[in-house]
Structure 1
Amino acid sequence: MGTELVHRSARGVGLTDAGRQLLPRARLLVSDAARFEDEARRIAGGHDAPVRWGVTHGLGDDVVVRCVHALRDADKARITRVVTTTATTTELVESVRTGSLDVAVVEHPALLTGLDSGPVLKIRRWVVVPEDHPAAIAKKAQVRMLRGLILAAGPRSDNPPAHDLFVDMWRARGLDPEVVVSTGPRDLLVRVAAGGTFGVTTTPPTPMPGVSWVDMLREELALRLRIVWRSGADLGLSAGALDRVLLRAGR
């Protein structure tokens, strides 16, 4: 097109102003080309086609890593390349529906129109509180002890049905806390360590300054998950591998 994108000098090669402006777009095109190639391989049934899976932010890193390993080894005839996406349940459902993802682990309940899904699976969650809070040292902590603390939870837009049930569960037990948005597991723990905030996590009790894990309401607080995939898609190996990992994690 007659536009110079790079210039050469005695010092080497550099981008022109036009080149710098086009660089972000060029990176997107390269990324899109890679996704196009992966999709073509998947449709053609190529042996090197990756499994593109997604997982909700709420699932702990230890379980996510086990899921990746299980997907990698799901096909006994070969090692499968695994591409992982972490996103909100709403985003994951839409990505599976449009074909951007093959399979995903999402929170239950969620609107799953047009998708197939497995049974509801439960992963244990703990309440996390500031280490100097009375609930942290109580022999048997009670919900009422959390009064005065702010509840940190994911945005309602992540998955409105599950978010509403979570907040209503606390209210049904006499706790109506102020709710602030937590952007993820790390942000939750940072807020709790700073004081005045509590939340729930699937991460097992871990020595951590400023944070204590409290065991209460096991059944009510369990993270409920489902494995979803496009209707009619042949994803038995992948869905089965994820199901086994989540079943073991929930015991």
Structure 2
Amino acid sequence: MDLIRHLRFFVSVADEGHFGRAAAALDMTQPPLSQGLRRLEQHLGVELIHRTRHGAMLTSAGVQLLPRARLLVDDTERLLAESQRIADAGGAVHWGATAALPVRVVTACVSALRTVVGAGAVVSTTAGATVDLISDVRAGLCDLAVIEHPALVDGIEAGPVVKIPRWLVVPSDHRGAVAERPTFPMLAGLTFAHPTRAANPPAFDTVVDLLRERGLDTQTIAACDDRAMLAAVAAGTSFGLTATPPTVTPGVTWLRMAPQAVALRVRVIRRPSADAAADAVDRVLYRDRQQ
């Protein structure tokens, strides 16, 4: 029997609570659905659905087996989607980069990946939060990704941690911007513009703890990327961190403070089939660390 197909029948009936509605959702008629579910029950040796005059109810066995059935059905759908993506993509590489990665590094990674996949192949880039990129690699939506460290990457192949230079940015009219030896406590009164904790809880907690260790306990406001962060800084109410080197920006001043402590820590995570692409990106990150 087609186990996955019949498990899909079971999940649909459980979701709809009715054979007729489940059949409509599966774009089929009710008799083969009901027959298929009975064959599944016979195959498993348990009754999954209690049939009533008003609909369908899960039995005790059905309640216990539904989560596993749903997982198998969902994984099958994901497998089919991934196989289609591979078939459509040919030699393409799909990769992701944390929003904290500076543009110069992102473009260098794309150039390096093009040499791996060869002329004419496509390199597609997704920028986003670390937790989302990890999920995309797990799901096969990305072949590899550069994420912030620390992060929860259990079960995913990960490369070495690389430090990329990062600067503090403050409002140009703030006293810290003109101080001969600026300190972290000078930033008291400014909010910290930074991606939310949900974007990567371990990295968020690490940077907040670092500021507290340096004598600064401040409120955090959400800034999903450098553009949002710099806008908040230019408004005179916030400070932030950026891996983009100092540039002439109205209302904003770059400060070099505790460079080793505030450095951006990143690493490459990958699917098993993306070793060559991951190695190419690792080399880019290592070169940028040297600059």
1:143 aligns with 2:190: no
1:103 maps to 2:150: no
Which of these residues, 199, 210, 214, is aligned with residue 169 of structure 1? Answer: 210
2:113 is paired with a residue whose SS is helix
Q: Could you tell me which runs of 5 or more consecutive residues in structure 1 were left unpaired when the two chains were aligned.
A: 1-33, 43-47
Shift of residue 38 of structure 1? 3.6
Shift of 1:91: 0.5
Map 1:1-251 → 2, pairs under 5 A: 37-41=84-88, 48-75=90-117, 78-230=119-271, 233-251=272-290
Higher relative contact order (CA 8 A, sep 6+): 1
Structure showing the higher helix proportion among its residues: 2
Give the superposition deviation at 1:37: 4.7
How far, CA to CA, are the matches of 1:124 and 1:79 in structure 2? 34
CA distance in 2, matches of 1:115, 1:143: 36
Runs of 4+ in 1 over 2 A off after TM superposition: 34-38, 77-80
* CA distances 1:116-164 after superposition (whole Å, capped 9, x unpaired): 0100011111000000111111222111211111111101000000101
Query: How far is 1:74 from its partner?
Result: 2.3
Question: Any gaps of 5 or more consecutive residues in structure 2?
Answer: 1-80
How many residue pairs are counted as aligned between the two chains? 211
Paired residues of 1:52 and 1:82 also in contact (CA < 8 A): yes
* 1:243 partner letter: D
Give the C-alpha shift of residue 173 in structure 1. 1.2
* C-alpha contact (below 8 Å) 1:73/1:79 kept by paired residues: no
Asked if 2 retains the 8 angstrom alpha-carbon contact of 1:128 and 1:198, the reply is yes
Cα distance in 1 between the residues matched to 2:178 and 2:288: 27
Q: State the TM-score, normalizing by the size of structure 1.
A: 0.80
- What RMSD in Å do the two structures reach over aligned CA positions? 1.8
Instruction: Name the SS of the counterpart of 2:116 in structure 1.
Output: coil
Q: Percent identity?
A: 44
